Amino acid sequence: MKKALNIGIIGTGAVLRLMHLPALLRLNDKFRIISVYDSDPKAVGRIADMLHLKSRDPFFADSPDDVISNKEIDAIAVLTPTSTHSKYTVDSLNESKHVFLEKPAAIYQGDLKKIITAERRNRKFVQVGMVLRYSSFYLELKKLIKSGKYGKVLWMNWLETRPFDPMLWRYNNTKNSGDAIIHDKAIHQINLFNDFAGAKPELVMASGGQYLLSSRRRTAVRAFSSEVMLKGESCDHLMAIIEYRNKVKASLTVSYVSPHARESRWIIQLEKAKIVAHFETFVSRSYGKKHGWKGNPSCIYLFKDDRKHKIPWKYPMSYPPGDKNLVFYDEYRNEPLHPGSTAQWKAFYDSITNNRKPACNTKVALEDIVVANAIDDSIKMKKVIRLK
């Protein structure tokens, strides 16, 4: 039986408390947390409470370097603000540590290339925390698309509407942290688009801006927890189109100004079928009684041309999702916070113990950042961005 890996953690914010820590504690046969650090005493105190420890326990390090240089530790989880990712990851790699790096890996390509160089030099792995990539939702989509049974991808669309996230850091200082809905939200969908397209991205066209957010004044907005006062430099809505070298098109629409109905919906048109997928939908099921929704389920429906229906030219037709079209359903009751939360840590363990590059590695992350930055540039410059 393979031994448990000793892990150190830098950054004890909400993403650790709500997602990573519950997953790691569940996988106590694979991971043993040795040391953690955060510059915020309040954040440390919350973790201390969760683990029933005193905040002055030796378990809590005095600096990031104390965690990184700890000889007992096999791997480091870097869960800090994006601007510090490159430094902590490179330092960890230089200390012969594998790294689990929260997304986005970096905002600037140069920072990510430093990580890639250190990774190769030290022969260690970095797995980027694109949690959706390890969910059963993604795996089912990939199985349908990559099977070739329904032909090639023609175009893809993703729509997400949601209220604002009340965490202020997401909207301020885009120079260091990136744009909230591009680098922190849409990066997930860019990651999957790049995987499903079957070719490299070639052109990016985007438009976005601020309906409610403003860098000049604080505005009361509806957020997940309550009404909060926000201001910031990030977009609060955008629309973008990505064209790939094989002429596959992908479009995405994101809006943070919609507290009325949170929705994350995918349409993927193949040559012989259409996939309609709802990720963590919040609406009640109205068709059929096969599934009684109790959580926040993800569903994938498949509409294929089985030549059993006529195609009229004159009258509109629609085929509402039904049980006969449902090919995937999961409420993720066993995953903390987000689908893929536990699976991504299992994958990290397997990559290290089997000496195998992670599925969501730094090369993949670099391709994602190139597209994310092109969307950002296209919005700011009001022009089409051609990628090399």
* Residue where a domain terminates, one of 91, 124, 157: 124
pLDDT tens readout for residues 145-183: 999 999 999 999 999 999 998 888 889 889 999 999 999
Where would I find the H helices in the chain?
A: 14-15, 21-26, 41-51, 64-68, 85-94, 109-122, 136-146, 174-177, 187-197, 341-353, 362-381
Same-domain status, 175 and 242: yes
> What pLDDT does residue 287 have?
45
Residue 54 sits in the same domain as residue 20: yes
Tell me: do 253 and 114 sit in the same domain.
no
Separation of CA 326 from chain center: 25
Mean pLDDT of 18-25: 96
Tens digit of each residue's pLDDT (9 = 90 or more) over 314-328: 555 555 567 778 899
Q: Residue 164 — φ and ψ, nearest 5°?
A: -65, 150
Q: Are residues 217 and 253 in the same domain?
A: yes
Structure tokens, 360? 């969501």
Name the 3-class secondary structure at 180: helix
pLDDT digits over 44-96, tens only? Answer: 999 999 999 887 888 999 999 999 999 999 999 999 999 999 999 999 999 99
Question: Half-sphere exposure (CA, 13 Å, Cβ side) for 341?
Answer: 21
Q: What is the CATH number of the domain that holds 290?
A: 3.30.360.10
Q: Note whether 181 and 222 are same-domain residues.
A: yes
Q: Within a domain: residue 355?
A: no
Q: Domain boundary residue among 124, 149, 171?
A: 124
Average pLDDT over the chain reads 91
pLDDT tens for 122-143 read 999 999 999 999 999 999 999 9
Distance separating alpha carbons of residues 105 and 235, to the nearest angstrom: 20
Does residue 279 sit in the same domain as residue 166?
Answer: yes
| pLDDT at res. 294 | 62
Can you give the pLDDT at residue 291?
57
Question: ∠160-281-276 over CA atoms, to 5°?
Answer: 75
79 in a structural domain: yes
Residue 58 sits in a domain whose CATH number is: 3.40.50.720
Residue 343 tokens read as 């699976």
Of 70, 95, 124, which residue is a domain's last? 124
User: Is residue 363 included in any domain, yes or no?
Assistant: no
Higher local confidence (pLDDT), 349 or 260: 349
By DSSP bridging, strand 201-209 and strand 153-161 are: unpaired
Same domain, 19 and 112: yes
Evaluate if residue 283 carries a pLDDT over 50. Answer: no
Question: Does the pLDDT of residue 292 top 70, yes or no?
Answer: no
Chain Cα centroid distance, residue 197: 18
Give me the amino acid identity at 278: H
Q: Which domain holds residue 35?
A: 5-124
Domain count, the chain: 2
C-alpha closest to that of 215 among 174, 256, 181, 167: 174
> Which neighbouring-strand residues pair with 268?
156, 275
As separate numbers, helices (DSSP H) first and strands (DSSP E) second, the chain gives: 11, 16
Same domain, residue pair 310 and 242: yes
Average pLDDT rounded to a whole number, residues 231-239: 95
My answer on whether 251 and 149 are in the same domain is yes
Greater confidence, 131 or 262? 131
Same domain? For 196 and 299 the reply is: yes
| Predicted TM-score of the model (pTM) | 0.93
Helix (H) or strand (E) holding 265: strand 263-270
Report the range of poorest mean pLDDT among 222-236, 281-295, 330-344.
281-295
| Residues 106 and 141 grouped into a single domain | no
Same domain (yes/no): 101, 151: no
* pLDDT of 316: 52
Checking if the pLDDT of 30 tops 70, the result is yes
